[in-house]
Amino acid sequence: MIQLSAAAVSAEATAVHERLFTIDTHIDTPTASLMRDGWDFGARHAYATDRSQCDLPRMREGGIDALVFAVYVGQLARTPEGLRLAHERALRCFERTRAVLAANAAACGLALTADDGLRLKAEGKRALYLSIENAYSLGRDAGNVAVFAKLGVRMLGLTHMLNNDVADSSTDPRGAEWGGLSPLGREMVAEANRLGLVLDASHASDDTLRDLLELSRAPVVLSHSGPRAVADHPRNVGDELLGALAAKGGVLQINALPISLVNAPGNARTAAIAEVLIRFKDHVLSAETLAAEDRAYDVVCAAHPNPPVTFEDFVRHIEHAVAVMGIDHVGIGCDFDGGGGGFAGLRDVTDYPAITRALLARGWSEAELAKLWGGNTLRVLRAVEAKRG
């Protein structure tokens, strides 16, 4: 690759970034911000003020064409009542998200296909795809995959930090429950393939990912994960599995979660957060439960702060993933509004151009950047669309 001077990189980076189709495959704005009373997605907010990392003005400033908006419901009781309440909360969050998009229809739109993202960019609008994070909100009914697909969901993340009725998580302190996918999880994989939803194994255990690669008729993704060889965190994935993901046409979208970017002794913060979730695992969803869980979470985070990380740590993950998987199998999924970023150089969505600048400075071509920033994810979307039915 040709090395460019710093001046040349600085001069062309903005133009290159705007020409690319750019997508981040995991951002938690629906749960973190859109459900706040009075919070306006069309107005500019500030991370320093309300800890939010995304809104429409900042999307424009960051030159990001598309985001995958994740609806996350934290895991509580796996009882019929607990599952019903979780499902209803997810439905309310999707309804709120679609209402916000409709209210800002002049500036953004719901994307359902790969081509929708490109069309909205051509119209000067931002594209928003919808995803589920944690199949807990689907309950024990594989038919709920179709319920969410009708609402516009095009990506299904199987787990979060604890095992659920679908699959094992990478961070459940109790260890494996199913040894990968459960029988229900296998049904949901088939339904997602049939309906054209991208399957997402971020947060899932290694065995869950292995099962998914074996069973899925379409490529799968890790929408916000990283290589374990760079940082030995349970949410990250080893090189052998990353190679298997690439061999099946999948994509690893690199996240910016500080605890997964660098080696932190014992992963104490992750373990402590998981223990909070275990403490509340038999509670049903309520305002009081959520408030108590938030207070416990704040105590843990104060006792176990994020490790110091740099923008260079994030770039190292990109470079390693490309070296292991090839340029056709790596993307961007920063996990903003869900714990990702928040450090110098990658504070919020306005900082996306810094990724382009840094990689240009390392000699990346525009064609390579086009694959990383959107081409690889669009290819997976098209492959999944083609396997429907």
Give 12's pLDDT tier (boundaries 50, 70, 90). Answer: confident
Which H or E element spans position 258?
helix 258-261
Cα–Cα distances (Å) from 320 to 60, 247, 329, in that order, read 29, 17, 12
* DSSP 8-state secondary structure symbol assigned to residue 105: T
- Give the pLDDT score at 210: 98
The set of residues, in sequence order, having a beta carbon less than 8 Å from that of 348 and lying 6+ positions away, is 47, 52, 53, 54, 58, 62, 336, 341, 342
Residue 1 has pLDDT above 50, yes or no: no
* Cα angle 301-340-356, degrees, rounded to a multiple of 5: 150
* DSSP 8-state secondary structure symbol assigned to residue 181: B
Q: Could you tell me how many residues make up the chain?
A: 389
Residue 7 has pLDDT above 70, yes or no: no
Paired tokens of 238: 């080893």
Report the sign of the C-alpha dihedral through residues 357, 359, 362, 365, in that order: negative
The mean pLDDT of 325-329, rounded to a whole number, is 98
Q: In the CATH hierarchy, which top-level class contains the domain 6-266+307-386?
A: alpha beta
Region of 291 on the Ramachandran plot (φ > 0 left; ψ -120 to 50 alpha; else beta): alpha
Task: Dump pLDDT digits (tens) for 184-199.
Answer: 999 999 999 999 999 9
Phi, psi for 108 (deg, rounded to 5): -155, 165
Q: How far apart are CA 271 and CA 139, in angstroms?
A: 25
Q: How far apart are CA 97 and CA 92, in angstroms?
A: 9
Provide the 3-class DSSP secondary structure of residue 129: strand
Token pair 């309906």 is found at 195
Q: How far apart are CA 32 and CA 29, in angstroms?
A: 5
- Give the pLDDT score at 5: 54
Residue among 119, 117, 161, 118 at smallest CA distance from 136: 161
Paired tokens of 181: 């996918």
Asked whether the beta carbons of 65 and 23 are under 8 A apart, the reply is yes
- Give the pLDDT score at 3: 54
Q: How far apart are CA 203 and CA 219, in angstroms?
A: 17
Task: Dump pLDDT digits (tens) for 152-195.
Answer: 999 999 999 999 999 999 999 999 999 999 999 999 999 999 99
Which H or E element spans position 198?
strand 198-200
Q: How far apart are the first and last CA of the chain?
A: 42
Does the pTM surpass 0.85? The reply is yes
- Give the pLDDT score at 367: 98
